[in-house]
Structure 1
Amino acid sequence: MAQAARPQHGLFSFLDTDGKSHPVENTLAVTTLAIGVIAFVTAAFTGLHLLSSWAGLVGMVTGLWGQLISATTGERFLLIIGLGASAVGFYLGMAHGGLFGGLLG
């Protein structure tokens, strides 16, 4: 149990439950969560449909890639929350005007 007594350092150390460092996976998880929050919040405003739909699309892509390479349960937990928020933001943004609404016509 020597690894249990060893303190973990770093910004995302709470996600490294296996004792190894996963900087790429942790960054993808936190980024997906942040983008998902942006997409979800901006989906409430119909005038921000461009930001909501694009942020949702980017959040879904980063979240799916993060799920593909994730290593720990903590990473997957954040990824699923971020994916859900991104999807809601994307779909509501599409309903309010879409990715290019108002720009092409």
Structure 2
Amino acid sequence: MVVKAVRGRRRYIVYTVPESAGRSDVLSALSSLETSMPDLRVITSFGGKAVVRCNPSEKEAVTEAMKAAYPGCESLITSGTLRKIREEYPELKVSQKKKR
């Protein structure tokens, strides 16, 4: 496990997006921020919700970019762990591979 002091903290934010918006669509909407934010990543996007990972200090800039790209977009929940988000929104769970 990597120490947070080295890696840095992360925030996972769930946004409402249009039903048709896929992961690549959300990623292209945030493309202007990618060069200045190397930790920015779209975890998943389906069912009208997108999960974006960023640093805590970048949260406001990411939210502004999402609102500019998708009018009416809003932040539903912000968490430090994907587990909390997936507990709140079970439809965002990804099926795990079975262990042998």
Alignment TM class, shorter chain as reference: under 0.3
Q: TM-score, normalised by structure 1?
A: 0.27
**Which has a greater percent of helix?**
1
Q: TM-score, normalised by structure 2?
A: 0.28
**Which has a greater percent of strand?**
2
